[in-house]
Amino acid sequence: MKKLKSSFMAFLILLSFLSIFIFFSISISESPKDLGIILFSYNKTEEKEAQLKKAEETIQKIKTAFNQKLYEKVTDLLKELPPDFSLTPEENLIISESFLRSGFPERASEFSEKVISVKTGTHEACLANLINIKAYIIRGEYKTAKKNLEDFLNSYCDEGLKKEAKVLLYFIKELPAEEIKKLDKNLIIKNFGEIYKLRGIYFIKKGELKKAEDDFFTFINVYGTYKEAPEVIYQLAEAYLKKDEEKAKIFYELIITNWDGTKEALFSKFRLYQIAYEKSLIKELLPEKTKEDLISFATLIKSKYPEEKIAEEASFMIVKVSFEDKNYFSARKGAIEFLKTYERSPLIDVVKTYYCKSVSSLFEENYEKKNLSLVTKLEVEDKDLFEKTKCGEAYYTLGDIYFNYNLYTKASYCFIRAYELNNKEELIPKILLKLGLLALEDKNLDLFNDIFNFLDKSKYKDSIKDPYYFYLKAFYEGQKNLSSGEYYLNLVLNSTLSEKFKEKLLKYFRDRALYLKQYGKALAYTNNPFFKAKADDYVLLLLETFNTDKVVFENTLKYAKEKFPDNLKIKWLEAYYLEKKGNIKISTEMWKELTKGNSLESELAKSYEKMRNFVERTHQTVF
């Protein structure tokens, strides 16, 4: 019986699985939309999980930054969290205090209220209340602060926090005289000092620097310690840097003189060198020591204090100074590090430009040194970065290099990638010119005409002064009319374009002239020094005009004899032409001269001489 029950249960389970399988099979086959919904939901869940994981990592960074007293970094990291991410009361408390210490009391109140609303009756709510009260005091809202302090003193919060509340009442001059006498002097110094310091930071954020200066020096002279001074003076110097550079320099120098060896002194040295560098109109005239010291301070900040806000600017200055000093390897290296470290930096676009120009300059330098192996090495290493920075300029430079090495397929790829990635308007016509040039080299006239036609009718036409434009325009016009093409031909011949291209263009015009039977033009093109005419070029023209254009033939023969007096092909054609003209005496002498030797022309002359003698004997016999 037991065995029968087991078998029956197994059968039921099998039947259930079969039913589920059939149901899903039918559902999927009949409702592909439902399957799409399932897959979409799955993808959304995966995406949500990835966002949650990233948010948790950001929260950990926030806590680490808070423990390191990097309060502004905490507020910056908050921007990376999704808008709908739910923070714990502990996290809200951390963020609230960070905003308070960064000079944003309004935001501090916003986050402290979140803690108070969910943690009423707890120690966290008491701490949040105190942050909120300090925020009101810093903003100068003493009336609201007084009411909140009185409520706080009548609350459940512990006596230690209430003593702090009484000190704050004393600060806003709302504590009775008999209560003042009972206050702990150290607690007064601590809380008064904190309010003056935080209010000074708040005034800096508002741009009220005179008020900030007053509060900071009250803090330093009355409530602070010698060690705390450089921190607030440095903040003041940084604020004045944007409004009054000379006053900022006074504060930087004050820090270096009195607190040398502190991190603020290092930052101040960097700033003073940075100011000197930026003020110099001609960077080349700056002493090398100034640039070296600036980079040295920047490197030290970057290595010792990477979490400090100034580290970002220090990293930027390394890139900028290296680039402007034409140290492109160092600039490239610094830019790559910057792009990895400061992805959200407001300086990111400038650094991308420095990177792009640096790597392009490295390509050009090493091409000039004929170091193609280093060019290809850099290309492989930085390929992904070209895409990330949209560095069309680097691909354009590579395309130029490969083009000059006659690697046209590789050059075409680089120019196409340059066009796709380019984010600079002025580079587009240059890229199109090179693509047109490659189409011409590949003898793909349809593609060349399409590219050049587009370029010639585009908004870039009037701004193009590139010799390559004149080169392609000459080809383009020469297909239709040699005379209209000659204007651009002359521009090319008088340009800085390499002689290779001038020679190619002249030969194209010569061939077109021969095709159109404009022999006078063909001779003029051939005689141009950039044509670099060989004897065979004159032979070709002599053959074309032998029976068609006596004047051009004779002119061509004249130039050919001057340039190649010993050329047998030219002599052969001259002898034949003279004989045809009836100048038998001279032609006979020439034929005899030509029969000497073992060249092909000599053998032909011998054969012709035999044939000519045979014809003469035949004539004599007949007559």
Residue 24 pLDDT class (50, 70, 90 cuts)? very low
The pLDDT tens digits for 550-590 are 999 999 999 999 999 988 888 888 888 888 888 877 877 77
Give pLDDT, residue 41.
54
SS3 372: helix
Q: What is the CA radius of gyration of the chain?
A: 43
* Contact present, 356 and 389 (Cβ < 8 Å): yes
Residue range 28-32: mean pLDDT, rounded? 46
CB-CB contact of 321 with 304 (8 Å):
no
What lies within 8 Å, CB to CB, of 599 at 6+ separation is: 568
52-56, 64-68, 204-208, 301-305: least confidently modelled range: 52-56
Domain boundaries for CATH 1.25.40 within the chain: 87-224, 228-325
- Which tokens is 500 given? 């290779």
User: Quick check: 59 and 51 in contact, CB under 8 A?
Assistant: no
Q: What is the pLDDT at residue 600?
A: 58
SS3 (DSSP) at 120: coil
Domain 228-325, CATH class in plain words: mainly alpha
Residues 587 and 578 sit within 8 Å (Cβ to Cβ): yes
Q: Which helix (H) or strand (E) holds 504?
A: helix 499-515
Model confidence at 408, pLDDT cuts 50, 70, 90, reads very high
Distance CA 332, CA 377 (A): 14
Packed helices 32-67 and 71-78: angle between N→C axes, nearest 10 degrees? 170
Task: Look at 333 and 39; give whichever has higher pLDDT.
Answer: 333
pLDDT at 258 over 70: yes
Separation CA 83–CA 378 (nearest Å): 41
Residue 426 binned pLDDT confidence (cut-offs 50, 70, 90): confident
> Quick one: what percent of the chain has pLDDT higher than 90?
71
Closest CA to 201 of 68, 78, 72, 64: 72
Place of tokens 């074309």: 544
Taking the C-alpha atoms of residue 470 and residue 493, their distance in angstroms, rounded to an integer, is: 10
Exposure b/e, 469-499, CB count within 10 A at least 16 = b: bbbbbbbbbbeeebeebbebbebbbebebee
Domain range 87-224, CATH architecture: Alpha Horseshoe (1.25)
Task: Considering only residues 519 and 590, tell me which one the structure prediction assigns the higher pLDDT.
Answer: 519
Q: Give the model's pLDDT for residue 586.
A: 80
| CA–CA distance, 498 with 500 (Å, rounded to integer) | 5
pLDDT over 80 (residue 544): yes
Total count of residues recorded for the chain: 623
The dihedrals phi and psi of 329, each to the nearest 5 degrees, come to: -65, -45
- Is the CB of residue 302 less than 8 Å from the CB of residue 314? yes
Amino acid at site 519:
Y
Q: What is the pLDDT of residues 266-286, one digit of tens each?
A: 999 999 999 999 998 888 888
CA triple 76-79-83, angle to 5 deg: 160
Query: How much is the average pLDDT of 212-240?
Result: 94
Residue 11, pLDDT > 60, answer: no
Phi, psi of 281 (to 5 degrees): -75, -35
Q: Take residue 286 and report the two structure tokens written for it.
A: 């700056």
C-alpha closest to that of 494 among 456, 522, 530, 525: 530
Residue bearing tokens 């029968």:
4
d(CA 479, CA 159): 97
Q: Among 207, 205, 203, 206, which Cα is nearest to 217's?
A: 203
One-letter amino acid of 456: D
Cβ neighbour number for residue 226 with a 10 Å cutoff: 9
| Structure tokens, 560 | 């050919």
Q: Which two tokens stand for residue 599?
A: 């060249």
